[in-house]
C-alpha cells in the first residue's frame, strides 16, 4: 500500500501509526495508485529517479524546511542560500548536470525554497539570445558559480509593457563600449530575483541607442558586484526591495545604473549586433526577445504553479478526512468534513483542475520543446502560436491555481490560517504568479489578438479558394458547429466529445462576437486603438473561454491515451467530466446566451455534476496520494500522509520562537500596566 | 501633489466632503471622528513604526505597548462612547489588532451577561482596571463552529467544592483564543459541565492561568502561542491545556445555570439572549468588510491614476492605467461594492440598535430574522470582500505584492473573517434554514414579513397555476428599483428550487440530516441569492434618502453598476429563470461599459470620500499626494536585508560556493 517513500516519518513517535480515519480511506483501491504516479511522472523510471533524489535531499537536515515558518525575512534568505549551497555540493558529488531532471526533482523536494533561482533564467536567456561565442564564454562561468547572475527587466515604473522601459544602453564607438544608464527614478530596475543581495552580474534589458538611433530593447550583461568582496561596483546602486507577501527566500532587488560602461561584447547578439563602428545589424525578428519569456512562462506553469495547487489539494483533502464537524445523522458521531456536500463542492473541482493543468502543462512543455529548436534556427512559423498559448495558459493557470489554493486554505477553516498548515505560504507564493512574468490581463489580451487574427483569417479563407490551414489550437474556428446542444439527459453530459464541442461553441461565439464588435466600432469611425480598448473586456472573456476549451480538450485527449489502463482511465474521466461541467455551470450565462443550452439542459448539467461528487469522494485520498509529495515537501501539520494532524500541530506550535524565547513585552509593558492599575485600586 | 491626482480631483463632478458626511451619517459625526483622529496624529507620544520591517515578536511587543498606552490616552482624552473607542483604536493600532482587546470585547461582556451580581462585583473592577487581563477560550483544536462537539470537561467535586477542569485529548486543547498565548492571566473557558455523574452541556468558567506578579503559567496549566499565521502577527493567539486543574465553585458563571455546593444542577430559564452578542459581532463584521474593501479600492484607484503603462495609440505618451477598459472593469464594480457594503453595514448597525431596544422591552419577534440575516450577510460580504481585496492587489501589478502597497496586510488581516465567528458555509446554511422555514410557513398559509416577504408572491403560491407567465419580463435596466425586483425574482426562484429539492430528498433518504446535506449546495446558492437581493435593495433604498443632486447622480451610477455587474456575473440565473432575455443581457453588458466611462472622471473623488488618513491606509501606493515612486525607493532602503552593504550570507555561503566548485 502506497510507496515506502511516503512512510518516511519526521521522526515523531506518533507517526509510526497511521490515523485510522485516513487508513480506511486507502483500504478500497479502485485503481493502482503507483501506476497513476508513474503516469504523472511520465514513466516509472522517472518516479524512481525522483524518489531517489528526494530521499537524498531530505536525508540532509540542512535542506529541511521545517523552521521556515518561524523565520524573519533575513533568516529565510540565509537559509535559502544555505540550502542552495548544499544542493550544489550534493550535485557536484553525484555528478548531476545543470538542467538535468535531478535538479528539477531537487527543486521540487525543497518546494522551490532555494535562492539563486534567477540564475537559470539568465542561463536560458543567454542560450536563446546569445551568440555561440557568448554562450561558450559565459555559460561555464555560470555553471561553476564563478559568477552569480540575475535577469533585470522590470522597472519601478514599467512592467509588462516592454517598449516602455527607460533604461538606456548608448554605444560609444570611440571606446567600443556601451554606456548603461538609468535616466529617471522610474527607470530603476525593480523586482529581479537574487538581485538584492546575491548577484554579481545582471542581464539588463535596455533601449539600445547607437549612431543616434533608438533600436528597441536588447539584453546586456552588466557586472554589478565585485568578485573580490561583493561590494557594488562604481556607478551601481543596488539593494533589496523590502518585505513582500511571500517569497521571503528570494532577495528581489533594485538596481540603478549611473553611466556604467561595459564592453561591446556584452550585448547578446544572436539576433542583433552592433558593429565596432556603431552600425546596427538585425539578424532576426525583434519578436525573438519574447522567446525567453515564453520559456520562463512554460517552466513556471510546470514547476511552480501547478504543483502548488496539487499540494494545496493534498493538504486540504487529507485534513478533511481527519477533521470532523457536525452530525449528518442524529445518532452518528460527527462526520468527516469531506462527507459534507459543500466541502466536496469546494475541493473536488480544485482536484480536477490540478489534474487538468498537470496534463495541460506537460503537453505544452512538449510542444515547446518540439518548436524550440526550429525557432533557434530562425524558423518562426510556430512562434506566434507558442507565444499565444504560453501567454493565455499562464494567465488562466495562475488565476485558477491562485483561486483554488486560497479556496483550499479557507476550506481548512481556522487551521488553514495558521502558517503551520503550509497553506498561507502556498497562497502567497502562487498568487505572485498572477502578476509576474506578465500581468494576466495583458497576457489574455495577447492571446486575444492571436485569436482575432486567426478568426479573420478563417473568415477570409472561407470566402476565397485559398485554404490556409489554421494553427492547431484554433482549428475549431473553421470546424462545423452546432447551433444547439443535442444532449437530452444528464448522462449525455458525461461524453467528453459533447462537452468539448460545447466549450468550442462558446469560445468560437465569444471570439466572433468580440471580433465583430471591434469591426463595428471601427466602421463607425473609431480608430483601431480606441476600438480595441473599448472591446478589451470582451476580448479577455473570449480568451478565457478559448483557454478553457484548450484545457478541456487536452484533458479528454489525455484520457484517450489511457486505453490500456481502464481503472485509471475511469477515475480520471470523472475528474475530466467534473472539470468541464464545473466550468459550464460557473459560466452558464455564456452557454444559455444564444440558446446553445436550454434551461433544462443546464439543470441536467447540474444533476450530472452533483452525481459525480460522491463517486470522486471514494477515491479522493488516493487521488491526492498519487501526486506523491513527501511530508517534508508539503511541510504541513494538516497534510501529512499519516493523518496525525492534531498531535503534530501541538508539537510544532510549541517550537515557535514566541514560546521559546521568553516574553520581553511582559517585562516592559504588561507588568507596569498591571501594577499601575493595582496601585490605583 | 502628483499632477495626475490633482487633475483627477479638479475634474470631479461632486464635492467629496458631502459624500463623506453621508458615509459617516452626519457632518457632526465626520467632525468628531476627525477630531479624535487628529488627537492621535498630533500626539508626540504617538510613534508610528512601520510594522512591515519587524519580526513577529517585535510586532507583538509594539501592539502590547500600544495597548498599554491606549488605556491611559483614552482616559486622558475622555473617550468613552463605544463608537469613538472604535475610531480611536483604528487609527492608533493601524492593523486594528490588539492583544488586550479580548479583555474588553469578550471577557467583560461575558461576565456581564452570564455572571451573577456577586460575581460581577468580585471580578469586574479588577478587569476594567486591567489588574487581571482576561480572554475568552471557546474553540478547541479539533472543534470549531459546531459547539456541542467541544471536549473540555469541568467536573464538580462536592468534597472540596471545586471544579476540575481537564483537557482529556489533544483535540480538546483550546486553540486560537486571542491574547491567550502571552498576554492574559485569566480566561473564561467553555467546558462540558459534569456533576453527579451527569453531563449538562457547555458552561462558562473563570480560570486563572498565570500567576499574578510573575506571569508564569500556574501548575496544571500549559499555555502558549500557536505560532505564526497568515496575518495577525501582532496577536498572540494561544493554546491552553488544563491537566485536572481545580478552581473554586464560585468561578462558574451562574447567572442562568447553577451548581449548588452539594453538586445539584439548577437549569437555566432561557438562553435566547445569547443570540444578541453573536448578532452584534456579525453585524460589526459586515461593517469591517465595507471598511477593508474601501481601503483596498482607495489604494488601487489612486495608484491606477498615478501609474502609466503601455500605449493606447502609437506615438502618444503612456496613458494612466485607469484609462484602460480592463482596469476600470476590474476596479469600478469593486468600488460600487464597497459603497453597497458601507450602506449595508450602516443598516445592520441601526437595525441592531433598534431591535436591541425591542429586546429590552421584551419583544423578541424580530430576532430570528435578524439572526438569520446577519449570518448570511456576514458570509456574503466577507466572501465578496475577500476576493475583491485580492483583485485590487492584483490590479496594482507587481507592486501590489510588495508590503509597500499595504494590500497584503489588508488581505491577510481580513481573510480570517471568512472562517471566524462562524465559518461562512455554515453561516449560509443557517440563513438557508430560515429561508426553508419561511417557505414552509408560506406554504401552510402564513404570510411572511420583512426581507423574505417575497416568498408570499411565489408562483406556486398563487391560486391559478400559471407558472412562467406571472414573472414580469420587462426589467428596466436603468432603474435600481426594477433591478431590485429582478434580484428578488432570482432569490425567490432559487429558494423555491432548493426547497423542492430538499422535499424530494427528504422523501428518498433515511433522515432529514442526510437530505439536508445532499441539498446543501442548492441551499447555499439560495442564501447567496437572498443576500444579494438584500444588498441591492438596501443600496437602492439608500438613494431615496440622498438630498444633494450631484451626490445622488454619482451614487445612482454606482448602484446601477453594482446591480448590472451582478446580473452579468450571474447571467445564467437570470436567463434560466426567464427573468431577463438574451438581448437584455447583451444590453446589460453594453450598459456596464458605458457606466465605466461615466464613473471614470469621479473615481478618485469617490475614494477620497472614504476619508482614510495615509497612516490608516499604510500604503505607499495609495498615498493621498500620489508621490509613489520616490517614496517607494525610500521605503525599500529601510528593509532589514539592506542593513549591511554586503550580507553576511555572502561570506558564509556564496563565497565558498564560488571557490569550492
With an 8 Å Cβ cutoff, is A600 touching chain B?
no
Give residue B520's pLDDT band: very low, low, confident or very high (50, 70, 90): very high
Compute the distance between CA of residue B323 and CA of residue B305 in angstroms, rounded to an integer: 8
Compute the distance between CA of residue B582 and CA of residue B561 in angstroms, rounded to an integer: 19
Nearest to B423 among A413, A420, A594 (CB): A413
Compute the distance between CA of residue B527 and CA of residue B532 in angstroms, rounded to an integer: 8
Specify whether A140 is located in the same domain as A269.
yes
Mean pLDDT of chain A: 91
Q: What's the average model confidence in pLDDT over B288-293? A: 96
CATH number of the domain at A141, please. 2.40.110.10
Compute the distance between CA of residue B61 and CA of residue A666 in angstroms, rounded to an integer: 9
Specify whether A52 is located in the same domain as A193.
no
- Chain B partners of A443 at a C-beta cutoff of 8 Å? none
pLDDT attached to residue A219: 95
- Chain A partners of B173 at a C-beta cutoff of 8 Å? 646, 650
Q: Chain B closest CA to A144's CA: distance in Å?
A: 6
How many other CB atoms are found less than 10 A from the CB of residue B47?
A: 10
Q: Chain B closest CA to A85's CA: distance in Å?
A: 6
Contacts of A535 (CB under 8 A, 6+ apart): A514, A517, A518, A521, B325
Judged by CB atoms closer than 8 Å, whether chains meet at A536 and B510 is answered as no
With an 8 Å Cβ cutoff, is A63 touching chain B?
no
To probe the interface with A, which of B137, B401, B404 has the most A CB atoms within 10 Å? B401
Specify whether A127 is located in the same domain as A102.
no
How many other CB atoms are found less than 10 A from the CB of residue A617?
A: 20
Spans of all domains in chain B? 1-42+280-447+479-643, 102-268
- Would the annotation count A154 as a binding residue? yes
Specify whether A139 is located in the same domain as A264.
yes
User: 44-103 in B: which are within 8 Å (CB) of A?
Assistant: 52-53, 55-57, 60-61, 64-65, 67-68, 71
Judged by CB atoms closer than 8 Å, whether chains meet at B149 and A334 is answered as yes
pLDDT attached to residue A288: 65
Mean pLDDT of chain B: 90
Give residue B92's pLDDT band: very low, low, confident or very high (50, 70, 90): low
Compute the distance between CA of residue A152 and CA of residue B614 in angstroms, rounded to an integer: 32
Compute the distance between CA of residue B312 and CA of residue A579 in angstroms, rounded to an integer: 37
pLDDT attached to residue B274: 57
Segment A448-463, tens digit of pLDDT: 999 999 999 998 877 6
Top-confidence range, A113-117, A333-337, A417-421, A432-436: A417-421
Compute the distance between CA of residue A375 and CA of residue A383 in angstroms, rounded to an integer: 7
Specify whether A230 is located in the same domain as A370.
no
Rounded to whole angstroms, what are the CA distances from A472 to A380, A388, A465, A551, A555?
16, 12, 20, 14, 16
Whether the CB-CB separation of B561 and B333 falls below 8 Å is answered with yes
Determine what percent of chain B is predicted with pLDDT higher than 90: 65
Give residue A429's pLDDT band: very low, low, confident or very high (50, 70, 90): very high
Segment B106-163, tens digit of pLDDT: 888 888 888 899 999 998 887 777 778 899 999 999 988 777 889 999 999 999 999 9
User: 97-136 in B: which are within 8 Å (CB) of A?
Assistant: 125-126, 129-131, 133
Contacts of B286 (CB under 8 A, 6+ apart): B341, B344, B345, B348, B374, B377, B378, B381
Give residue B465's pLDDT band: very low, low, confident or very high (50, 70, 90): very low
pLDDT attached to residue B100: 77
Specify whether A359 is located in the same domain as A249.
no
The residue that leads in pLDDT, B290 or A97, is: B290
Query: Do the domain assignments include residue A654?
Result: no
Determine what percent of chain A is predicted with pLDDT higher than 90: 76
With an 8 Å Cβ cutoff, is B641 touching chain A?
yes
Q: What's the average model confidence in pLDDT over A318-335? A: 86
Q: Chain B closest CA to A105's CA: distance in Å?
A: 21
Whether A14 shows a pLDDT value over 50: the answer reads no
Determine what percent of chain A is predicted with pLDDT higher than 70: 95
CATH number of the domain at A104, please. 1.10.540.10
> φ, ψ for residue B457 (rounded to 5)?
-100, 10
Query: Do the domain assignments include residue A20?
Result: no
With an 8 Å Cβ cutoff, is A405 touching chain B?
no
Judged by CB atoms closer than 8 Å, whether chains meet at A665 and B64 is answered as yes
Q: Which of A113, A177, A304, A437 is catalytic?
A: A437
Give residue A289's pLDDT band: very low, low, confident or very high (50, 70, 90): low
- What are the cell numbers at B79? 473617550
Specify whether A303 is located in the same domain as A382.
yes
Determine what percent of chain B is predicted with pLDDT higher than 70: 94
pLDDT attached to residue B471: 52
Specify whether A152 is located in the same domain as A87.
no
Contacts of B291 (CB under 8 A, 6+ apart): B345
Q: Chain B closest CA to A293's CA: distance in Å?
A: 16
- Chain B partners of A198 at a C-beta cutoff of 8 Å? 647, 650, 654
Compute the distance between CA of residue B356 and CA of residue B273 in angstroms, rounded to an integer: 10
Whether A7 shows a pLDDT value over 70: the answer reads no
Q: What's the average model confidence in pLDDT over A92-121? A: 89
User: 591-630 in B: which are within 8 Å (CB) of A?
Assistant: 593, 629-630
pLDDT attached to residue A11: 43
Whether A681 shows a pLDDT value over 70: the answer reads no
pLDDT attached to residue B48: 67
With an 8 Å Cβ cutoff, is B632 touching chain A?
yes
Q: Chain A closest CA to B615's CA: distance in Å?
A: 18
How many other CB atoms are found less than 10 A from the CB of residue A557?
A: 13
Provide the CATH topology of domain B102-268.
Answer: Butyryl-CoA Dehydrogenase, subunit A; domain 2 (2.40.110)
Segment A172-196, tens digit of pLDDT: 999 999 999 999 999 999 999 999 9
Whether A359 shows a pLDDT value over 70: the answer reads yes
Lowest mean pLDDT among A312-321, B28-37, B528-537: B28-37
Judged by CB atoms closer than 8 Å, whether chains meet at A185 and B633 is answered as yes
Q: What's the average model confidence in pLDDT over B492-498? A: 96
Give residue B466's pLDDT band: very low, low, confident or very high (50, 70, 90): very low
Q: Chain B closest CA to A346's CA: distance in Å?
A: 10
Lowest mean pLDDT among A156-165, B330-339, B431-440: A156-165
Segment B619-660, tens digit of pLDDT: 999 999 999 999 999 999 988 888 888 888 888 888 887 765
Whether the CB-CB separation of A129 and A268 falls below 8 Å is answered with yes
Judged by CB atoms closer than 8 Å, whether chains meet at B630 and A185 is answered as yes
Nearest to B653 among A85, A346, A416 (CB): A85
Whether B80 shows a pLDDT value over 80: the answer reads no
Give residue B314's pLDDT band: very low, low, confident or very high (50, 70, 90): confident
The residue that leads in pLDDT, B11 or B256, is: B11
Judged by CB atoms closer than 8 Å, whether chains meet at B639 and A72 is answered as no
pLDDT attached to residue A435: 87
Q: In a 3-state reduction of DSSP, which class is residue B135? A: strand
The residue that leads in pLDDT, A653 or B655, is: A653
The residue segments making up the domain with residue A221 are: 120-284
Specify whether A207 is located in the same domain as A236.
yes
Compute the distance between CA of residue A137 and CA of residue A132 in angstroms, rounded to an integer: 9
With an 8 Å Cβ cutoff, is B325 touching chain A?
yes
Q: What's the average model confidence in pLDDT over A86-98? A: 89
Q: In this structure, what DSSP letter does residue A181 have? A: E
With an 8 Å Cβ cutoff, is B26 touching chain A?
no
Rounded to whole angstroms, what are the CA distances from B634 to A247, A438, B540, B627, B654?
21, 26, 45, 11, 28
Specify whether A522 is located in the same domain as A604.
yes
Segment B426-451, tens digit of pLDDT: 999 999 999 999 999 998 988 888 88
Whether A510 shows a pLDDT value over 60: the answer reads yes
Specify whether A194 is located in the same domain as A262.
yes
CATH number of the domain at A326, please. 1.20.140.10
Compute the distance between CA of residue A54 and CA of residue A48 in angstroms, rounded to an integer: 10
pLDDT attached to residue A10: 41
- What are the cell numbers at A326? 457536525
Specify whether A485 is located in the same domain as A613.
yes
With an 8 Å Cβ cutoff, is A197 touching chain B?
yes
Nearest to A653 among B239, B318, B629 (CB): B239
Length of chain A: 681
> DSSP string covering A558-605, please?
HHHTTTT-HHHHHHHHHHHHHHHHHHHHHTHHHHHHTSSS-HHHHHHH
Contacts of B480 (CB under 8 A, 6+ apart): B536, B539, B540, B543, B556, B559, B560, B563
Size of interface A-B (CB pairs under 8 A): 378
With an 8 Å Cβ cutoff, is B504 touching chain A?
no
Q: In this structure, what DSSP letter does residue A272 have? A: E
pLDDT attached to residue B40: 81
How many other CB atoms are found less than 10 A from the CB of residue B192?
A: 19
pLDDT attached to residue B614: 92
With an 8 Å Cβ cutoff, is A224 touching chain B?
no
pTM confidence score: 0.94
Lowest mean pLDDT among A238-247, B24-33, B440-449, B628-637: B440-449
Closest Cα in chain A to B510: A329
Segment B574-606, tens digit of pLDDT: 999 999 999 999 999 999 999 999 999 999 999
- Chain B partners of A346 at a C-beta cutoff of 8 Å? 425
- Identify the sign of the CA torsion A395, A398, A400, A403: negative
Q: Chain B closest CA to A533's CA: distance in Å?
A: 6
Give residue A2's pLDDT band: very low, low, confident or very high (50, 70, 90): very low
Q: In a 3-state reduction of DSSP, which class is residue B557? A: helix
Checking DSSP bridges between strand A168-172 and strand A201-210, what pairing results, if any?
Answer: parallel
Q: What's the average model confidence in pLDDT over B40-45? A: 78
pLDDT attached to residue A638: 96
Judged by CB atoms closer than 8 Å, whether chains meet at B326 and A536 is answered as yes
Q: How many domains does chain A have?
A: 3
Assigned CATH for B1-42+280-447+479-643:
1.20.140.10
Q: What's the average model confidence in pLDDT over B50-77? A: 84
Catalytically annotated residues of B: 421
pLDDT attached to residue B626: 97
- What are the cell numbers at B392? 485590487
ipTM (interface pTM)? 0.92
Give residue A434's pLDDT band: very low, low, confident or very high (50, 70, 90): very high
Q: What's the average model confidence in pLDDT over A204-233? A: 95
Q: What's the average model confidence in pLDDT over A437-458? A: 94
End-to-end C-alpha distance for chain A, whole angstroms:
67
Contacts of B503 (CB under 8 A, 6+ apart): none
Length of chain B: 661
Amino acid at each position: 500500500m502506497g510507496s515506502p517513500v511516503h512512510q518516511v516519518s519526521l521522526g515523531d513517535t506518533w507517526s509510526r501509526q497511521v490515523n485510522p480515519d485516513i487508513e480506511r480511506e486507502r483500504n478500497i483501491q479502485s485503481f493502482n495508485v503507483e501506476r497513476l504516479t508513474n503516469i504523472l511522472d511520465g514513466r516509472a523510471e522517472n518516479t524512481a529517479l525522483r524518489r531517489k533524489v528526494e530521499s537524498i535531499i531530505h536525508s540532509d537536515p540542512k535542506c529541511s524546511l521545517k523552521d521556515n515558518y518561524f523565520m524573519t525575512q533575513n533568516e529565510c534568505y540565509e537559509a535559502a542560500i544555505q540550502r542552495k549551497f548544499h544542493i550544489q555540493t550534493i550535485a557536484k558529488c553525484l555528478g548531476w548536470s545543470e538542467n538535468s531532471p535531478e535538479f528539477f526533482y531537487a527543486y521540487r523536494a525543497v518546494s522551490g525554497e532555494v535562492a539563486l533561482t534567477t540564475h537559470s533564467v539568465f542561463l536560458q536567456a543567454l542560450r536563446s539570445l546569445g551568440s555561440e561565442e557568448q554562450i561558450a564564454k559565459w555559460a561555464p562561468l555560470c555553471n561553476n558559480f564563478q559568477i552569480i547572475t540575475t535577469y533585470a527587466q522590470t522597472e519601478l515604473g514599467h512592467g509588462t509593457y516592454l517598449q516602455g522601459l527607460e533604461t538606456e544602453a548608448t554605444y560609444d564607438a570611440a571606446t567600443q563600449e556601451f554606456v548603461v544608464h538609468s535616466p529617471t527614478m522610474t527607470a530603476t530596475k525593480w523586482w529581479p530575483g537574487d538581485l538584492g543581495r546575491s548577484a554579481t552580474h545582471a542581464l539588463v534589458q535596455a533601449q539600445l541607442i547607437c549612431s543616434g538611433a533608438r533600436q528597441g530593447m536588447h539584453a546586456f550583461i552588466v557586472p554589478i558586484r565585485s568578485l573580490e568582496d561583493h561590494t557594488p561596483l562604481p556607478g551601481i546602486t543596488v539593494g533589496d526591495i523590502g518585505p513582500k507577501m511571500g517569497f521571503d527566500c528570494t532577495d528581489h532587488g533594485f538596481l540603478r545604473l549611473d553611466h556604467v560602461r561595459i564592453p561591446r561584447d556584452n550585448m547578446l547578439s544572436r539576433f542583433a549586433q552592433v558593429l565596432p563602428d556603431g552600425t546596427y545589424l538585425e539578424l532576426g525578428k525583434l519578436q525573438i526577445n519574447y522567446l525567453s519569456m515564453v520559456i520562463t512562462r512554460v517552466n513556471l506553469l510546470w514547476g511552480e504553479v501547478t504543483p502548488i495547487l496539487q499540494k494545496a489539494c493534498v493538504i486540504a483533502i487529507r485534513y478533511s478526512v481527519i477533521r470532523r464537524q457536525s452530525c449528518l445523522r442524529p445518532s452518528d458521531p460527527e462526520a468527516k468534513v469531506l462527507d459534507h456536500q459543500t466541502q466536496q463542492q469546494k475541493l473536488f473541482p480544485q482536484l480536477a483542475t490540478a489534474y487538468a493543468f498537470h496534463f495541460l502543462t506537460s503537453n505544452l512543455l512538449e510542444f515547446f520543446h518540439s518548436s524550440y529548436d526550429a525557432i533557434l534556427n530562425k524558423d518562426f512559423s510556430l512562434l506566434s502560436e507558442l507565444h499565444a498559448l504560453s501567454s493565455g495558459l499562464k494567465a488562466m493557470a495562475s488565476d485558477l491555481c491562485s483561486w483554488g489554493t486560497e479556496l483550499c486554505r479557507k476550506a481548512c477553516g481556522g487551521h488553514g490560517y495558521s502558517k503551520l498548515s503550509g497553506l498561507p505560504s502556498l497562497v502567497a507564493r502562487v498568487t505572485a504568479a498572477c502578476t509576474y512574468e506578465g500581468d494576466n490581463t495583458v497576457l489574455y489580451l495577447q492571446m486575444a489578438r492571436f485569436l482575432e487574427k486567426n478568426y479573420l483569417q478563417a473568415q477570409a479563407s472561407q470566402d476565397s479558394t485559398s485554404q490556409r490551414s489554421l494553427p492547431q489550437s484554433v482549428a475549431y474556428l473553421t470546424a462545423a458547429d452546432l447551433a444547439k446542444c443535442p444532449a437530452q439527459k444528464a448522462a449525455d453530459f458525461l461524453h467528453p466529445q459533447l462537452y468539448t464541442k460545447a466549450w468550442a461553441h462558446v469560445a468560437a461565439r465569444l471570439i466572433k462576437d468580440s471580433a465583430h464588435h471591434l469591426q463595428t466600432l471601427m466602421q463607425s469611425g473609431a480608430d483601431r486603438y480606441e476600438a480595441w480598448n473599448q472591446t478589451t473586456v470582451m476580448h479577455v472573456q473570449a480568451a478565457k473561454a478559448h483557454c478553457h476549451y484548450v484545457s478541456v480538450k487536452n484533458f479528454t485527449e489525455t484520457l484517450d491515451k489511457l486505453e490500456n489502463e481502464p481503472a485509471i482511465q475511469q477515475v480520471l474521466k470523472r475528474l475530466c467530466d467534473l472539470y468541464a461541467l464545473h466550468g459550464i455551470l460557473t459560466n452558464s450565462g455564456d452557454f444559455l446566451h444564444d440558446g446553445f443550452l436550454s434551461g433544462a439542459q443546464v439543470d441536467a448539467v447540474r444533476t450530472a455534476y452533483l452525481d459525480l461528487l460522491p463517486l470522486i469522494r471514494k477515491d479522493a485520498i488516493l487521488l491526492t496520494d498519487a501526486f506523491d509529495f513527501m511530508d517534508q515537501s508539503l511541510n504541513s501539520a494538516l497534510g501529512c500522509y499519516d493523518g496525525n494532524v492534531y498531535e503534530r500541530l501541538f508539537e510544532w506550535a510549541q517550537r515557535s520562537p514566541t514560546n521559546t524565547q521568553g516574553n520581553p513585552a511582559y517585562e516592559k509593558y504588561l507588568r507596569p500596566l498591571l501594577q499601575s492599575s493595582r496601585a490605583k485600586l | 501633489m502628483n499632477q495626475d491626482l490633482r487633475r483627477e480631483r479638479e475634474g470631479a463632478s461632486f464635492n467629496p466632503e458631502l459624500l463623506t458626511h453621508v458615509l459617516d451619517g452626519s457632518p457632526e459625526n465626520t467632525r468628531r471622528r476627525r477630531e479624535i483622529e487628529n488627537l492621535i496624529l498630533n500626539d508626540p507620544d504617538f510613534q508610528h513604526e512601520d510594522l512591515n520591517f519587524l519580526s513577529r515578536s517585535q510586532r507583538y511587543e509594539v501592539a502590547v505597548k500600544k495597548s498599554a498606552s491606549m488605556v491611559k490616552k483614552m482616559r486622558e482624552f475622555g473617550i468613552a462612547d463605544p463608537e469613538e473607542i472604535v475610531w480611536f483604536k483604528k487609527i492608533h493600532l493601524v492593523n486594528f489588532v490588539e492583544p488586550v482587546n479580548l479583555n474588553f470585547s469578550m471577557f467583560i461582556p461575558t461576565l456581564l451577561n452570564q455572571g451573577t451580581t456577586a460575581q460581577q462585583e468580585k471580578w469586574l473592577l479588577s478587569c476594567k482596571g486591567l489588574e487581571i487581563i482576561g480572554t475568552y477560550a471557546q474553540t478547541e483544536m479539533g472543534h470549531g463552529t459546531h459547539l456541542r462537539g467541544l471536549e473540555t470537561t469541568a467536573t464538580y467535586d462536592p468534597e472540596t467544592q471545586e471544579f476540575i477542569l481537564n483537557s482529556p485529548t489533544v483535540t480538546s486543547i483550546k486553540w486560537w483564543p486571542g491574547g491567550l498565548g502571552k498576554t492574559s492571566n485569566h480566561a473564561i473557558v467553555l467546558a462540558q459541565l459534569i456533576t453527579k455523574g451527569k453531563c449538562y452541556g457547555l458552561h462558562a468558567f473563570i480560570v486563572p492561568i498565570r500567576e499574578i506578579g510573575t506571569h508564569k503559567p500556574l501548575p496544571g496549566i500549559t499555555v502558549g502561542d500557536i505560532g505564526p499565521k497568515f496575518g495577525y502577527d501582532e496577536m498572540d493567539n494561544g493554546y491552553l491545556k488544563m491537566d485536572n486543574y481545580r478552581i473554586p465553585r464560585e468561578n462558574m458563571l451562574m447567572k442562568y445555570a447553577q451548581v449548588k455546593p452539594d453538586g445539584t444542577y439548577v437549569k437555566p430559564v432561557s438562553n435566547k439572549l445569547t443570540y444578541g452578542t453573536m448578532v452584534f459581532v456579525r453585524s460589526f463584521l459586515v461593517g469591517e468588510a465595507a471598511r477593508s474593501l474601501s481601503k483596498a479600492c482607495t489604494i488601487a484607484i489612486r495608484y491606477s491614476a498615478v501609474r502609466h503603462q503601455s500605449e493606447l495609440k502609437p506615438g502618444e505618451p503612456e496613458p494612466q492605467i485607469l484609462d484602460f477598459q480592463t482596469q476600470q472593469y476590474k476596479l469600478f464594480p469593486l468600488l460600487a461594492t464597497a459603497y453597497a457594503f458601507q450602506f449595508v453595514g450602516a443598516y445592520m448597525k441601526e437595525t441592531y440598535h433598534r431591535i436591541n431596544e425591542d429586546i429590552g422591552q421584551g419583544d423578541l419577534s424580530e430576532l430570528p430574522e435578524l439572526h438569520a440575516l446577519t449570518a448570511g450577510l456576514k458570509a456574503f460580504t466577507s466572501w465578496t470582500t475577500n476576493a475583491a481585496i485580492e483583485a485590487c492587489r492584483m490590479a496594482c501589478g507587481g507592486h501590489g505584492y510588495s508590503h509597500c502597497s499595504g494590500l497584503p496586510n489588508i488581505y491577510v488581516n481580513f481573510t480570517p473573517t471568512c472562517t471566524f465567528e462562524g465559518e461562512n458555509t455554515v453561516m449560509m446554511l443557517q440563513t438557508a434554514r430560515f429561508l426553508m422555514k419561511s417557505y414552509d410557513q408560506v406554504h401552510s398559509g402564513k404570510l411572511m414579513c420583512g426581507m423574505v416577504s417575497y416568498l408570499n408572491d411565489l408562483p406556486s403560491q398563487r391560486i391559478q397555476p400559471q407558472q412562467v407567465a406571472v414573472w414580469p419580463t420587462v426589467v428596466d435596466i436603468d432603474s435600481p428599483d426594477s433591478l431590485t425586483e429582478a434580484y428578488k425574482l432570482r432569490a425567490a426562484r432559487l429558494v423555491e428550487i432548493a426547497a423542492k429539492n430538499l422535499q424530494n430528498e427528504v422523501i428518498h433518504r433515511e433522515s432529514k440530516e442526510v437530505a439536508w446535506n445532499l441539498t446543501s449546495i442548492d441551499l447555499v446558492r439560495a442564501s447567496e441569492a437572498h443576500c444579494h437581493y438584500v444588498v441591492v435593495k438596501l443600496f437602492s433604498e439608500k438613494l431615496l434618502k440622498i438630498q444633494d443632486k450631484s451626490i445622488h447622480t454619482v451614487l445612482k451610477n454606482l448602484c446601477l453598476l453594482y446591480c448590472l455587474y451582478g446580473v452579468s456575473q450571474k447571467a445564467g440565473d437570470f436567463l434560466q429563470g426567464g427573468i431577463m432575455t438574451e438581448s437584455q443581457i447583451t444590453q446589460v453588458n453594453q450598459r456596464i461599459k458605458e457606466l465605466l466611462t461615466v464613473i471614470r472622471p469621479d473615481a478618485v473623488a469617490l475614494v477620497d470620500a472614504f476619508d482614510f488618513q495615509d497612516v490608516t491606509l499604510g500604503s505607499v501606493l495609495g498615498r493621498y499626494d500620489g508621490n509613489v515612486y520616490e517614496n517607494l525607493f525610500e521605503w525599500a532602503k529601510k528593509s532589514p536585508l539592506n542593513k549591511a552593504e554586503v550580507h553576511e550570507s555572502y561570506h558564509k555561503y556564496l563565497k565558498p560556493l564560488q571557490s569550492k566548485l
